[in-house]
Amino acid sequence: MQYRTLGRTGVQASALALGAMNFGRIGRTTQDEATAIVDAALEGGINVVDTADMYSDGVSEEMVGKAIAGRRDDIVLATKASMPMGEERNHQGASRRWLVTALDNSLRRLGVDHVDLYQIHRWDPRTSDEETLSALTDLQRAGKIRYFGSSTFPAHRIVQAQWAAREHRLSRYVTEQPSYSILQRGIEAHVLPVTEEYGMGVLVWSPLASGWLSGAVRAGREITTNRSAFMPDRFDTALPANRARLDAVERLAAVADEAGLTLIQLALGFVTAHPGVTSALVGPRTVDHLRAQLAAADTVLSPDVLDAIVAPGVDLAAHEKHDTPPALLDPSLRRR
């Protein structure tokens, strides 16, 4: 396993990190299975575990807490907040009122007194940067979080938050967690240059493109990824974007075969090779899935074989990035 410095924090993070979104209802993963996955991850050299309050309505955090009991200090523990937790309208967002409560709830579920990295899951356009950063700074000074970061922020919002922290003399986001894979390269154009400029650590999610790069989606074969059950549109090969992805996957599979690699090794090796990326988050549902992903921990790719398949800075499914500006989604924000 390779280790990189998480931004400018001095914290050493493994090149592969364990994402716990599949723990609980989403991945139908039991506590025993989750604990076995955490055990195998730590044995394989992974030292970063990332979850979120909204994963299976808090169950993922509970499972992570039980799985890491007795070895908390060996793990860089990360969680996230701001996505809706229930029907109450103020149980979401990045206001001080909600973040203070949300963090206490996460600490209780995790069974710890602090998290190493607390991330704003999505940019909240209703809340000012000063409001959010001041709350996070106070939580940091109270010892409940060591660092804080953003997740899936557009590049201009990352810049704005950095300037707001400087203007108001507050602590700043030290990490960003964007989507990145061979099939979704858009962050190379805007986000990664910004995070490198500000010395931010980058933990990328969906490096296997929701299963497209796991070998579970191949031409002429039954789709076996768990995601297809609750995200059918993402795997409907009648749709043009998905036909383009399938064509790219087949071409990448040929490249992997020629290089003597699995498609997973190719995909994860591509992501972790970027100098702006600290860690790639893998989200296994089983120990076997994790072992296949750990095999990519030391993969080194030739630099001349990948750019011809998906061009740098291009997303084959841009609508799945979750970073579209609100004004493009809500017509009322485009009209007087």
Helix and strand totals (H; E) in the chain: 10, 10
Active-site hit among 55, 118, 147, 173: 55
Q: Residue 148: which H helix or E strand, with range?
A: strand 145-151
55 has catalytic annotation: yes
Q: Which residues 6+ apart lie within 8 Å of 230 measured at CB?
A: none
What single DSSP character describes residue 281? Answer: E
Distance of CA 160 to the CA centre of its chain: 21
Closest among 214, 219, 240, 244 to 311, alpha carbons compared: 244
- Bridge partners of residue 149, in order along the sequence: 119
Closest among 90, 154, 150, 91 to 119, alpha carbons compared: 150
- Bridge partners of residue 120, in order along the sequence: 81, 150
Q: Which residues 6+ apart lie within 8 Å of 215 measured at CB?
A: 253, 262, 263, 264
| Catalytic sites, residue numbers | 55
